Amino acid sequence: MEKLIIFDNFIKKFKSNKVGPISFQIEQCKIVGLLGTSGSGKTVILNALLGIIKKYKGKITINNIKRKSRSYHKANRMIGYYTQMDFALHDISAYNFLKDSCLIMGVKKGKIKEKVKYWMEYFDVWNHRNKKVKDFSWGMKNRINLILCFIKDPEIIIMDEPGANLDSYWRNKVKNLLVEFKKQGKTIIITVHNIDEISDIIDEYIILESGQKIFEGTKETLNIYSKYKLFIKDLFDVEKFRDFLLQENIKSFKYDRDENSLVIAAKNYRQINYLFLYLIKNNLPLINLVKLPINMESIHKALENQNIEVK
């Protein structure tokens, strides 16, 4: 598949530190998770990709357009960007603000009203279109930010923490929208702190730490799955249970005798169903099933298990 975005030996130096050298490639029609702890270099990579950072060593190519070439602005036409803006100084109605933004982004004049109405209705702010955008609640402002990202129908969607200030309904709706965009051939790069919310739709991960890339590849290569802790009422034959899990390709981890709990990792709901059937068949009442978070700690553990050095 075509390499849509290429970072080749990228280095950005600051007074006290640097990010890089970093090289990676992103294929078209993928959902890519750009992950890392605070200060890992995510923002620098995003800003360089967007053209905000212009002075760096190495090469950045977007759809065969070099970021340092005279035609670099052509790449911007392909990109939709989400970030959090509070619009505190925007003393203008939400409707007029979005219309003006469309003109700036190059949306065809004949399509502007149609697009603004569609996306305002989609994100349930159409009835507030005459309200000044600076007076919107934080959640509504975030939906305006999402509209700004999607309204010009970009080929590359870059999202920096899209779940912030959104309730579970809107976070799930945005996630489903990203899946639909992928089906349309779009490429999505997303950064999140709550990895659990998007782990099931990510195709590939790029993981940064202290200005270095420590992993690039598929979630299967990363070997990280949704983990659950099972609390079972009665003591049970742990080894027999582990044998069953192994047969169903379900990973098992720590057993806590005091809690009578076992941590397992499942790839899909089919495996969870087999697990429930086993418990019922063997008369093992389940007290609780707790989903454990996928976070940077669990990702680092997965990397360590593969003998990948985490600096």
| Residue 236, pLDDT above cutoff 50 | yes
- Position 235 pLDDT exceeds 80: yes
CA 228, distance to chain mean position in Å, is 21
Please report the pLDDT score of residue 305 as a whole number. Answer: 66
pLDDT at 237 over 50: yes
Q: What is the pLDDT of residues 188-227, one digit of tens each?
A: 999 987 787 788 899 999 999 999 999 999 877 877 777 8
Distance CA 222, CA 4 (A): 22
- The answer to whether 196 and 35 are in contact (CB under 8 A) is no
Domain 226-293, CATH number (from 1.20.1260.10, 3.30.70.100, 3.40.1280.10, 1.10.260.30): 3.30.70.100
The packing angle between helices 138-150 and 94-105, to 10°, is 30
Cα separation, 192 vs 36, in Å, equals 9
pLDDT score at 1: 62
**pLDDT, the chain, mean:** 90
Q: 3-78+154-222 and 226-293: same fold?
A: no
Taking domain 3-78+154-222, whether its CATH number is 3.40.50.300 is answered by: yes
User: Counting runs of H as helices and runs of E as strands, what totals does the chain give?
Assistant: 10, 14
Question: How far is 3 from 25, CA to CA, in rounded Å?
Answer: 6
Segments making up each domain of the chain, as ranges: 3-78+154-222, 86-147, 226-293
Q: What is the pLDDT of residues 241-257, one digit of tens each?
A: 999 999 998 988 889 99
Band (pLDDT 50/70/90 cuts) for residue 306 is low
Q: Is the pLDDT of residue 166 over 60?
A: yes
Q: What SS3 state is found at 203? A: coil
CA distance 265 to 222: 14
Structure-token pair, residue 259: 């809690």
Per residue in 103-141, pLDDT (tens digit) is 999 999 999 999 999 999 999 999 999 999 999 999 999
Q: pTM of the full predicted structure?
A: 0.82
Nearest CA among 161, 8, 186 for reference residue 80 = 186
Confidence at residue 65, expressed as pLDDT on a 0 to 100 scale: 92
User: What pLDDT was estimated at residue 8?
Assistant: 96
With a cut of 50, say whether residue 311 has pLDDT above it. no
